[in-house]
Structure 1
Amino acid sequence: MLTNRAKHYLIPKNNNLMFKQMKMLLPLVLLVFAIMACEKEETADDNTLVAEIVTANSLVATTPENLPATSQKYITDNYFDTYIETVEVAADKGYRVVLGNGENLFFTIRGRDIEFEGELRLNGPFGGNHPQGPCRRLARWMRGHGGQHDCDGDGVPDGPFAFDIAELPAAITAYVAAEYPDQTIRRAAFRDDRFLLLLNRNLVLAFDAEGNILAEVNPLEHCTRRCNSLTRDELSAEVAAHLAANFPASTFRAACGTERGTLVFLINNDRRLVLGFNLAGELVFQRP
């Protein structure tokens, strides 16, 4: 049994140890709170910036080539299954990119990807419509694999959907090896509970989360817009003439008609090509 004198010396010693431990932990706790505060502030700033881009009077059309290199890489790594339909820039604010699948992406002037995570209000700047497009239902972090993989090993994360080919389920790599023995996997992504694979001949395959094949992905697919499928023989004379004159050796893959015109998917020199025509059959855009 400890004497009162022993207790007198032991208790202060333990208290001092606890106090020292608390002093050591305090900076770490403060750092965690600081990071959380910064993330909250950054999200609020991103929400404001997206609203400013959408409502900017200076929003003007530009080309995908004028996007910052980091923005172009982000789209290539995370959205290789679709294409860029339009690009607009708001001076000193950032870019809005409309993809063929119906999603809208936003980037700062320097190219950092930003996302709106605020509350939608009917009397707000977006009128109740989601600025990221009609297809968006979940926040970006809930749609991917829960991380940002460094797929190329350069020490920089490639995005929320880009997926390391080496980490693909064995069922997927086995399927590709058996069904496409002459092709290799160039890129992979995981988005909305689907694995997406880009093969070396611009073929995109979709698999479910367990690795079962779903379908070949048509880059002309849109989440809400109706696009009536067209064969090559059903193309208008103007569109057919353009293809014959400019891409005589190309392989026709798909086409469809919308209320705005015609979309055509070709393979030209082993590269994907998406062409957009207006109702008069005039070329509006050409995208890889």
Structure 2
Amino acid sequence: MKKVVIGILLASFVGLWACQKDILNDSTLGLLETIANDTSSDPVGTTDLPNSIVSYVNENYSPLEIEMVFMSDDNGYHVILEDGQELFFNMNGDFLGDGNEGQGNGGNHGGGHMGNGPHSNGNPGAGCAANCIAGDTLDTAELPQAVLDYVAENYAGLSINVAVLKPSGKFGVELSDGTVLLFDEDGSFIKVCEGDEGMHGGGHHGMGNHGGNHGPGQGGETNMCTFGDSLTLADLPQSATDYVAENYPGESIEVVVAKPNGDFAVELSSGTVLIFDEDGTFEHECGNHGGHGPGWGGTEITASELPAAAITYIESNYPGETVVLAILTFHEKYFVELSNEVKIIFDTDGNVIFDSGN
């Protein structure tokens, strides 16, 4: 499942308490802490959310969209936007707070949602740069020309190290100096993603590509567990290595990542993913907590579940190729990857939004 380290969040609340106590009461703070700390919460889809949450995000965070949702039973929802911003709501869909409190007292992000007003439209908050480049890797040549032009004009002398297609159809790029930028479906600039220096060269953010890009994959918890920064085996605590040798004899460690919350995730040669805390103590085996439904970005579906128009488009334009991954995203779009590594985004009716092969 997931564990969220909220030390920074709590420190932020302490700093804000004097001027924000009329907005944030003890019960609200306590509930937010409970949701954030719930290690048994399950990933859910946006269709499982109260309509008020979806409306709140659309009204206050556009053009950013929801990329992951966890539900803490009888407590509330932890919503993660595609730039890494974290929002918390109670079971009725009432907004409790976000992960950026304590940055000031303004009415938008920069002031945080515990400020004196909602997040202002068109001014996305800081979030986390790593989330902005969580997606399926593209060649630079596959980016819209508008993205290339923007980078050339505004970041002269820098090159694009990583380019990704996000499940919403947006594009994330990491530049040679570590700057991460987010663009919409047409290649129009949205924001500079701050709060992190990307994923250190990229390559950790594939959609379901275990054994390849080890990032927040689609379609279930196992992929989510390998979201993090790639490490070498030597970086893993010895106690974790010993645990694998003792409990999984005959298997080798293929992937090691440091997760954003400080935990370690290892993927074994069998595909099993194990989670260890920062000291190397075993926590759980991914997949043994249930929650095999919606994953990061959406829910994996079969090719036959794609709209008829999408299937026709694939058959007409890519004869002989097969669908290796199909996702119904949280944004009611369809992400498709073909056997030739072409990525296509379709709208609800099967109309093409983006095709990396054309």
TM above 0.5: no
TM value normalised by structure 2: 0.32
Structure 1 or 2: more helix by fraction: 1
TM value normalised by structure 1: 0.38
